[in-house]
Amino acid sequence: MRLITTLALLMALTSCSTQAKYSDEVMYDMASILKDVSQAVDGELKWGNTEGLSQEEIISSATSTNPNQLPELEALAKEGKVANYRLLQEFQGENAVMLICDGHVALMEDAGCNAEFDKTYWKSPRSNTCSINLDAAAVCSN
């Protein structure tokens, strides 16, 4: 009986320790929206009139046809227990790269120039990784 109790306790502890910090379902929903936003921003950089606009103004213009996307990302972040949600962007020439972080932990990153989603980091989150790493020129040339 003692062996069974010990095994049950070990199984319970193991199952709790191997649960992912972030819900795949919520993260994939966020990735889908991030993909749409990064593509819209990338298109705005390539074909929109962006001269003299700030990054925030370019993003606002790019998402004007679907203004609920950015608030929906924030809502999903709360649902997915992303405590310190951050959305970073970097314009590399006429290409947009966007990154979602939880504080200093990178969760996902996408260059808007291609059809696939580029990087998922939430499955093995690491501290001090919240910085744009994608090289749009390399990603977009494929």
116-140, pLDDT tens digit by residue?
999 999 999 999 999 999 999 999 9
In the prediction, which pLDDT does 129 show?
96
Residue 7: pLDDT band (50, 70, 90) is very low
Query: Where in the sequence is the domain holding 80, given as residue range(s)?
Result: 20-140
Report if residue 2 sits inside a domain.
Answer: no
pLDDT at 109 over 90: yes
In the prediction, which pLDDT does 6 show?
47
Which of 92, 87, 100, 14 is closest to 56 using CA atoms? 87
Report if residue 9 sits inside a domain.
Answer: no
Report if residue 102 sits inside a domain.
Answer: yes
Query: Strand order of the sheet with strand 85-92?
Result: 85-92, 95-102, 105-111, 119-120
Report if residue 3 sits inside a domain.
Answer: no
Report if residue 4 sits inside a domain.
Answer: no
pLDDT digits (tens, 9 = 90+) for 10-67: 455 444 444 569 999 999 999 999 999 999 999 999 999 999 999 999 999 999 999 9
Report if residue 12 sits inside a domain.
Answer: no
In the prediction, which pLDDT does 142 show?
72
Count of beta carbons in the 10 Å neighbourhood of residue 106 = 24
- Number of domains the chain is built from: 1
Q: What percentage of the chain has pLDDT greater than the value 90? A: 82
In the prediction, which pLDDT does 141 show?
87
Beta strands at 105-111 and 85-92: parallel, antiparallel or unpaired: unpaired
